[in-house]
Structure 1
């Protein structure tokens, strides 16, 4: 009787390990696509990585875009998108930091912060600048081209 119980436990453990291993292999074969973008202003390149949220995926699906960009409050650069992004699952607001790429839902604009700012209702984080933030701050205004990086 004792041997049968030990054997049953061993079989159960083997099944659990086998299933966990198969699930890990499946997850590694189908990782979520990383959403990287390249922004160009006055011949300068800025790179960013987008978040894995509904708003960022909606923004990524719009690319490529060419938008006029301007300074706002000596804190951020803003550009108006051709349409509103989804806010499904978004928090009520965020406290953006330097280098955050965001969407301000009430106005429908992209906002890229180059100075620290306080909590703002309606602000959704889309991603973060990974390089080239200085290129953005060197221009008071201009044309920003945003493309997906494969």
Structure 2
């Protein structure tokens, strides 16, 4: 399993990325610098440079706090800090480790997403 780091200032989160066509397509785009904006009070979102593969992806998922996902209809990355609703077109890319509550709040914040120096 591949790990990534999401860094904002002195804060750092690690996520384990799944082995799927969508997740591999996401990894190819790293490193990324994005501005995460709040959406619906349960996730932070940012546009990706290009859409990810939907090959083999389920039609819909019900996201949980800590999920890193791709929302195909809009082409954006989503980081869930609260559980979400069953969503057609949402593809799980991986899971964040640790406390994701720090992603909460209405203020946008910049992040850099890169492959972690170590992989499992």
Give the TM-score normalised by the residue count of structure 2: 0.91
Partners of 1:47 and 1:138 in 2: how far apart? 20
Point out which structure has higher relative CO (alpha carbons under 8 A, 6+ apart). Answer: 2
Q: Deviations over 1:21-52 (max 9, x none)?
A: xxxxxxxxxxxxx2100001232001100111
Q: Provide the residue aligned with 1:135 in structure 2.
A: 102
Contact 1:99 1:113 in 2 (8 A): yes
Residues 33-44 of structure 1 mapped to structure 2, 5 A cutoff: 34-44=1-11
Q: Which stretches of structure 1, 4 residues or more, deviate above 6 A after TM superposition?
A: none
- Give the whole-Å Cα distance in 1 for the aligned partners of 2:91 and 2:3: 17
TM-fit CA distance, 1:115: 1.0
- Whether 1:96 aligns to 2:55 is no
TM-score scaled by length of structure 1: 0.74
More strand by share: 2
Find the aligned partners of 1:139 and 1:60 in 2 and give their Cα distance: 27
SS state at 1:40 partner: strand
Which secondary structure does the structure 1 equivalent of 2:97 belong to? strand
Q: Distance in 1 between matches of 2:72 and 2:59?
A: 10
Structure 1 position 109 matched with structure 2 position 68:
no
Q: CA deviation at 1:119?
A: 0.7
Number of residues paired by the alignment? Answer: 117
Q: Aligned pair 1:64/2:36, yes or no?
A: no
